[in-house]
Amino acid sequence: MIETSSSKGKVGDLSKALYKILNADSVAILGHPHPDLDAVASAYLFYYLRSKMGKASYVLMPHDPPDNALEILKWLKLPLPIYPNNRNHFVPENFEVLVAVEMGSEKRLKMALSSIDLAFSYSEVVNIDHHASNEGFGSLYYIDPEAPSNTSIIYQGMKLLNISLDEISSLLILMGLMGDTNLMTNPNVTPEVLRTTADLMSNLKKYKWSDLVKLLKAKSVKGGKLACLVVERATDRKINGILVRGSFITRQDFIRFNAKPADAEKLVEELFNYLPIPDITILARYDFNLSGTKVSLRSGKTEIDVGSLALRYGGGGHRNAAGFSSPKSPEEILNELFKALDEYLVK
Ligand SMILES: [Mn+2]
């Protein structure tokens, strides 16, 4: 049997949390470390809904967002967030609310605040997330580990508060949903996800679905070079009938291609694109902030839980997408994981 992490239910009050975010006088919206499409989209949903009410907000990202996330923001004519390579902005000293966007845990909030490195205070934290590791911190919170994306939680909240969906908010919800389902190819895709997608797609007028998909799929040329390397280095191992594909990126590889961590963010999913289709993919990549390794795990089957495996290494995530950090080298930790899977994937 494959181990399963006990699935925690929803916690917190979504209406109250969203109402507070939208009605507070001054708000800073903070994405999680190494923000992905869903984190950026969620942050901009709050930003956009507040701007429609005439309220300003500040969107902060602790690390550079993926290139395609920035391209989508430009396409939607939204201002770019404040992030390490784009810090030349005024930021107020005090905020009423700090919104923690799919932060995972309070520890990750502290990490995000230390890497954004701006001196500001806040009266309260409002926390909206779909990571099972999130225990529900802050004065108001809502955690739904079953939600396919953080933006789909906001979509539910908008329905509860009777906020109408316009074209831009629909596109932002789709951006997160398409990002976290890896363009509707992950096991978290349900009929409900597709119904939501259809509902949101029907709100598109000026913006074309096919253009959104092109932007979501696009990577930088540097990212493409890293993708080739990751595929070239891939090792397939059949463990108790389960096909595991692992690969790694070293410090030297990032330097050689002059690539950013964000260029490698989606490459664990790239490993599913080649036959025979694996059940589990692992990507171990060097991390300059850690001077160690970031490990990402993906499960292509709902019954295989990589979340509880990541938890053993001090990480976390979801059943089908999880990760952790290690002081070891990428190659070393990948070999260690292959060995650990021999025991983990016992019949
Ligand atoms: Mn997410």
Q: What is the pLDDT of residue 347?
A: 57
Q: Model confidence at 193, in pLDDT bands (50, 70, 90)?
A: very high
Residue with tokens 């770019």: 80
**Ligand 1 centroid vs 141 CA: distance in angstroms?**
16
316-335 average pLDDT score: 94
Residue 298 has pLDDT above 90, yes or no: yes
**Ligand 1 centroid vs 281 CA: distance in angstroms?**
18
**Ligand 1 centroid vs 149 CA: distance in angstroms?**
5
**Ligand 1 centroid vs 191 CA: distance in angstroms?**
19
Which tokens hold the place of 161? 């508060």
**Ligand 1 centroid vs 152 CA: distance in angstroms?**
9
- Identify the bridge partners of residue 316 per DSSP, sorted by sequence position: 323
Quote the CA–CA distance of 173 and 180 in Å, as a whole number.
Answer: 11
**Ligand 1 centroid vs 35 CA: distance in angstroms?**
9
**Ligand 1 centroid vs 317 CA: distance in angstroms?**
9
Q: What is the pLDDT of residue 1?
A: 31
Q: Model confidence at 302, in pLDDT bands (50, 70, 90)?
A: confident
pTM over cut 0.75: yes
Q: Model confidence at 3, in pLDDT bands (50, 70, 90)?
A: very low
Write out the H or E segment, with its range, that includes residue 188.
none
Q: Lay out the sheet containing 58-60: strands in order across.
A: 11-12, 140-143, 121-129, 94-101, 27-30, 58-60
Domain range summary for the chain, segments of one domain joined by +? 11-217, 221-344
Q: CB 232: neighbour CB atoms within 10 A?
A: 8
pLDDT digits (tens, 9 = 90+) for 133-190: 898 999 999 999 999 999 999 999 999 999 999 999 999 999 999 999 999 998 889 9
Q: Model confidence at 69, in pLDDT bands (50, 70, 90)?
A: very high
- The CATH number assigned to the domain with range 221-344 reads 3.10.310.30
**Ligand 1 centroid vs 203 CA: distance in angstroms?**
22
pLDDT digits (tens, 9 = 90+) for 216-248: 999 889 999 999 999 999 999 999 999 999 999
| CA 259 to centroid of chain Cα atoms | 20
Quote the CA–CA distance of 20 and 140 in Å, as a whole number.
Answer: 8
Which tokens hold the place of 338? 């292959």
The domain defined by 11-217 folds into inorganic pyrophosphatase (n-terminal core) (3.90.1640)
Look over the chain and give the mean of its residue pLDDT values, rounded to a whole number: 94
